[in-house]
Amino acid sequence: MEKNTRLTFIEGERIELLPINPENVKIHARWENDPKARLYTRNVFPVSPEDLKKRLEQDQERPKRDIFFEIYHKELDKIVGFVEFHNINYINNAAYLSVLIGEKELWGNYLGTEAAKLMIKYGFEELNLVKITASALRPNKGACRIIESIGMKLELVLKNQVYFDGVYIDELKFCIFREEWEQMNK
Amino acid sequence: MEKPEVFPFILGENIDLVAINLEHVNLYAKWINDPRVRRYARNTIPITVEESKKWFEPREGIKEFVTFEIYHKKDKVPIGTCGYEHIDWINRHANTFMSIGEPKYWNKNLGTEASKLLIDYGFGELNFHKIYAGIFEPNIGSWSVAEKDGFVLEGIEKKTIYIDGEYVDARKYRYLKEDWLKSKE
Amino acid sequence: MKDQEIFTFIEGETIDFVPLNIENIKLYAKWENNPKVRIYSRNIIPRTLEEMKKYLEPSDKRPKNKVSFEIWHKKDKKIIGFGEVSDIIWYNQQAYLGLLIGEPDYWGQKIGEEATRLLIEYAFNELNIFKLKASILVVNKGSWRCAEKNGFTRVATFKKDMYVNGEYLDNYIYSLLKEDWLKLKK
C-alpha cells in the first residue's frame, strides 16, 4: 500500500493502526474463522465475508461504542490483525481492549503488545478514558503475558465463566487506570 | 380505577413474578426515572414512556433477557421489576437485576423473596450454569441482602462507574449452579 | 471450478468446515436437482431459490437456532457438501445434526463419518449442547450407518414420515447424549 493512499491513523514503530477497510473483509473472515485464532476468542459461529460486511454497514452513531483498527505491518506491507475498543462508556470513561494478530506466522513477535500499547495511549490521551480493561481465558498464557507486559493488573477472576472445549473455565479480567499509566510513562 | 388483569408466572408468598404488562408502562417509566431508584441502577439518561414501551415490544430471535413484574399479592399492585439480561446461552450465564420501584415496599424482605424465586427459575427452568450480579459499593442495602441470599463475592471492580460526581467501585457477585444444588439438599 | 477463497472454521483431516458462501448457491441447486442426491437432501437443502437465498443472508452476531457449514475437501480443493446443527433449543441444550455429501463421487469414503465426528465435537465442545438428534430416512443407509459408527442410538422409527418422489418413506430418529459420547471416547 502506498504511503499516501494508506489512511494511517496511529503510527507505531513496526506497525500502524488504520481504520477498517471494508475491502479487506475476506481477510477478516479468514482470521475470524481460523480454528487456532478463534480458540481463545470464543468465536463459536462461522462467519462469512457477507456477515462481516453487514456488521460494518450497521454504522454506529457518534460517539461510537466500538472503535476498530486494522494493524498494518510496515515492512511486510500488509495487514496482520486488528485491535479494538468496545463497550466504550463515555460517562464512566471506560472501555474494553482486545487484540487479534490474525497471521499465525507472526505470533511470538510482540506485535500484539505493540498494538495494545498504541491503543492504550490513544485511549487515555485522545478518548479521555480513565480505565481500560481486558480479559483472557485462564489457559491462554500468551494473552495473559501480553496483558501483564503492557502494565495491566489482575482485577477479577470470574469462576466457571466460559464454556471451553467441553468444560467451564475461568475468565481473568485485567485493568489499568490512567494515573497508573501516567506514572509508568514518566 | 379497575384493577388490571394479572398473569402470575411464578408464585411466591407475599409476591408473585408476573409477565410484564404494557398497561403499567407509566409505572415502569416512573420507577426507572425516580432519582431514589435510578441512583444505583446506572440510569443517567431520562427514559420516556415511549422508550419504555419500545423496550418491552416483542422481538425476533433468541431472547437475551427475561423481565418480570414483582406483584404484591395482598395489596394487588406491581411494586418493581426483576429478571435476567445479557443471557449467554452457550456459556449459560446471565446477569440478574432487581428493582423495587415503590419505596414503601423497601426493607420488607420482598427483594429476598423475589431473588429466591428468580434464582430457582434461572437454574431450574432456564438451565443456567452461573448467575452473576454487579452492585455498586455505596448500595450497601442491596449487596448485604445479596450476600445473605447466597451470592458469593467474586471481586471488586474499582472505579468502574461515575455516580454523583465520583468514580465508584462495583462489587461483582456470582451464584453457581453447584451452589444452588447444595442449597437444595 | 476456479479456486475459491475459503475460511476454515473447523479443521479436519480430509475435510474442513467453512462458512456458507453465497457464490455456491448454484452448487446447492445442482445437488437438489441431481436425482441420486435429491432423495437424501430432502430435509437439509432448502428447496426453492428463495429459501436458499434466505439461508445465505448475512446474519447478525446473536445466537440463532441453526448453524450451517459448507464441507471443503482439502486435497481436491472443492466444496462437496453441507453440514448443520439445527433446531437448537438453547435452554434444553438440544439440537439436530444434519449432513449432506452432495457430490456422489465422495460417498463411501468415510468422509461422512469424519464430517459427523467433527459436527458432534463442535456441538458438544463449543456450543455446549447436551443432546444431539438426527432424523434420517430409512433408505439412506449410508447416513444412518455413519451415525451409528459415531455413537448415535436409534430411538424410533416413524413410518411413512416423509413424502418423496411419489411415496411415503419411513424415517429413523437417532439420539446421542454427551455423557454417552464421552464414555465412548475413552
In a domain, C156, yes or no: yes
CA distances from A51 to A42, A47, C3, C28 (A): 17, 6, 21, 19
Whether chain A has a CB inside 8 Å of the CB on C56: the answer is yes
Whether chain A has a CB inside 8 Å of the CB on C126: the answer is yes
Buried-state track A134-165, b at ≥16 Cβ within 10 A, e below 16: bbbbeebeebbebbeebbbeebbebbbbbbbe
In a domain, C3, yes or no: no
CA C78 to chain centre: 17
Query: Per mean pLDDT, which range of A78-92, B3-17, B139-153, C65-79 is the poorest?
Result: B3-17
Give the pLDDT band of residue A4 (cuts 50, 70, 90): low
Give the residue among C163, C132, C141, C148 at the shortest CA–CA distance from C43: C163
- What pLDDT, on a 0 to 100 scale, did the predictor assign at position B123? 95
Closest chain C residue to the Cα of A58, Cα to Cα: C60
Kindly report the number of other CB atoms within 10 A of residue A4's CB atom. Answer: 6
In a domain, C99, yes or no: yes
Which single residue is written with the C-alpha cell 472501555? A95
Distance CA C160, CA B107 (A): 63
CA dihedral A39, A41, A46, A48 (to 10 degrees): -120
> Listing from the earlier edge strand, what are the strands of the sheet with A67-73?
A10-11, A15-19, A67-73, A78-89, A94-101, A131-137, A167-177, A153-164
Number of domains observed in the structure of chain B: 1
Give the residue among B44, B48, B82 at the shortest CA–CA distance from B65: B82
CB contact under 8 A, A55 and C61: yes
CA dihedral C142, C145, C150, C155 (to 10 degrees): 120
Query: Residue type at A84?
Result: E
Cβ contacts (< 8 Å) between C68 and chain A: which residues?
46
**Of the candidates B61, B91, B92, which has its C-beta nearest C64's C-beta?**
B61
In a domain, B71, yes or no: yes
Higher pLDDT, A143 or C37: A143
Q: What's the mean pLDDT in A79-101?
A: 92
Query: Per mean pLDDT, which range of A61-70, A124-133, C149-158 is the poorest?
Result: A61-70
Q: What's the mean pLDDT in A36-61?
A: 84
Cβ contacts (< 8 Å) between B172 and chain A: which residues?
156, 158
The alpha carbon of residue B67 is apart from the nearest alpha carbon of chain C, in Å, by: 17
- Whether C162 has a pLDDT exceeding 50, the answer reads yes
Give the residue among A77, A69, A95, A87 at the shortest CA–CA distance from A9: A69
CB contact under 8 A, C9 and A50: no
Domains of chain A: 3-132 (3.40.630.30)
In a domain, C2, yes or no: no
In a domain, C31, yes or no: yes
Give the residue among C91, A151, C63, A116 at the shortest CA–CA distance from B62: C63
**Hey, is A94 helix, strand or coil?**
strand
Give the pLDDT band of residue C46 (cuts 50, 70, 90): low
In a domain, C172, yes or no: yes
Backbone angles phi, psi at C11, to 5 degrees: -100, 130
Give the residue among B36, B29, B33 at the shortest CA–CA distance from B164: B36
- What pLDDT, on a 0 to 100 scale, did the predictor assign at position C44? 64
**Of the candidates C19, C60, C63, which has its C-beta nearest A48's C-beta?**
C19
Residue C157: CA count within 13 A, CB half-sphere:
7
In a domain, B139, yes or no: yes
In a domain, B97, yes or no: yes
Closest chain A residue to the Cα of C23, Cα to Cα: A50
Q: For residue A101, give the C-alpha cell.
A: 494478530
CB contact under 8 A, B159 and A131: yes
Higher pLDDT, A174 or B42: A174
Whether chain B has a CB inside 8 Å of the CB on A158: the answer is yes
Give the pLDDT band of residue B163 (cuts 50, 70, 90): confident
Q: Which domain holds residue C88?
A: 10-185
CA distances from C120 to A163, B28, B79, B88, C143 (A): 16, 45, 47, 21, 14
CB contact under 8 A, B62 and C93: no
CB contact under 8 A, C64 and B62: yes
Which single residue is written with the C-alpha cell 416413524? C158
Q: For residue B5, give the C-alpha cell.
A: 388483569
Give the residue among B40, B185, B179 at the shortest CA–CA distance from B119: B179
- Whether B44 has a pLDDT exceeding 60, the answer reads no
- Whether B2 has a pLDDT exceeding 60, the answer reads no
| Average pLDDT, rounded, for chain A | 90
Q: What's the mean pLDDT in C121-126?
A: 92
- What pLDDT, on a 0 to 100 scale, did the predictor assign at position A50? 85
- What pLDDT, on a 0 to 100 scale, did the predictor assign at position B184? 85
> Mutate which of A159, A179, A181 to test chain B, going by most B C-beta atoms within 10 A?
A159
- Whether C117 has a pLDDT exceeding 60, the answer reads yes
- Whether B79 has a pLDDT exceeding 70, the answer reads yes
CB contact under 8 A, A163 and B174: no
CB contact under 8 A, A48 and C20: yes
Q: For residue A35, give the C-alpha cell.
A: 480454528
CB contact under 8 A, C63 and B92: no
CB contact under 8 A, C125 and A165: yes
Give the pLDDT band of residue A54 (cuts 50, 70, 90): confident
Closest chain C residue to the Cα of B128, Cα to Cα: C91
- What pLDDT, on a 0 to 100 scale, did the predictor assign at position A166? 87
CB contact under 8 A, C125 and A26: no
β-pair type (B66-72, B77-88): antiparallel
In a domain, B34, yes or no: yes
In a domain, C4, yes or no: no
**Neighbour-count burial of B169, counting CB atoms closer than 10 A to its CB (0-12 exposed, 13-18 middle, 19+ buried):** middle
Cβ contacts (< 8 Å) between C69 and chain A: which residues?
46
Q: What is the reported pTM?
A: 0.83
Cβ contacts (< 8 Å) between C82 and chain A: which residues?
none
Give the pLDDT band of residue C2 (cuts 50, 70, 90): very low
Cβ contacts (< 8 Å) between B126 and chain C: which residues?
91
- What pLDDT, on a 0 to 100 scale, did the predictor assign at position C1? 40
All partners of chain A with 3 or more CB pairs under 8 angstroms = B, C
Higher pLDDT, B117 or C58: B117
Number of domains observed in the structure of chain C: 1
The alpha carbon of residue B128 is apart from the nearest alpha carbon of chain C, in Å, by: 8
- What pLDDT, on a 0 to 100 scale, did the predictor assign at position A1? 65
Q: What's the mean pLDDT in A129-140?
A: 94
Can you point out the beta strands (E) in A65-130? 67-73, 78-89, 94-101
Give the residue among A24, C59, C144 at the shortest CA–CA distance from C68: C59
**DSSP, residue by residue, C26-87:** HHHHHHHH-HHHHHHHTTTS-SSHHHHHHHHS---SS--S-EEEEEEETTTTEEEEEEEEEE
**DSSP, residue by residue, chain B:** -PPPP--EEEE-SSEEEEE--GGGHHHHHHHHH-HHHHTTTT--S---HHHHHHHTS--SSS-S-EEEEEEETTTTEEEEEEEEEEEETTTTEEEEEEEE--GGGTTSSHHHHHHHHHHHHHHHTS--SEEEEEEETT-HHHHHHHHHTT-EEEEEEEEEEEETTEEEEEEEEEEEHHHHHHHH-
Which single residue is written with the C-alpha cell 496482520? A80
CA B39 to chain centre: 15
- Whether C62 has a pLDDT exceeding 70, the answer reads no
Backbone angles phi, psi at C60, to 5 degrees: -90, 175
In a domain, C90, yes or no: yes
> Mutate which of A38, A44, A45, A156 to test chain B, going by most B C-beta atoms within 10 A?
A156
Query: CATH number for the domain including C171?
Result: 3.40.630.30
- What pLDDT, on a 0 to 100 scale, did the predictor assign at position C23? 80
- Whether B133 has a pLDDT exceeding 70, the answer reads yes
**Of the candidates B92, B155, B176, which has its C-beta nearest A157's C-beta?**
B155
Q: Which domain holds residue B71?
A: 8-183
Query: Per mean pLDDT, which range of A115-119, B10-14, C163-167 is the poorest?
Result: C163-167
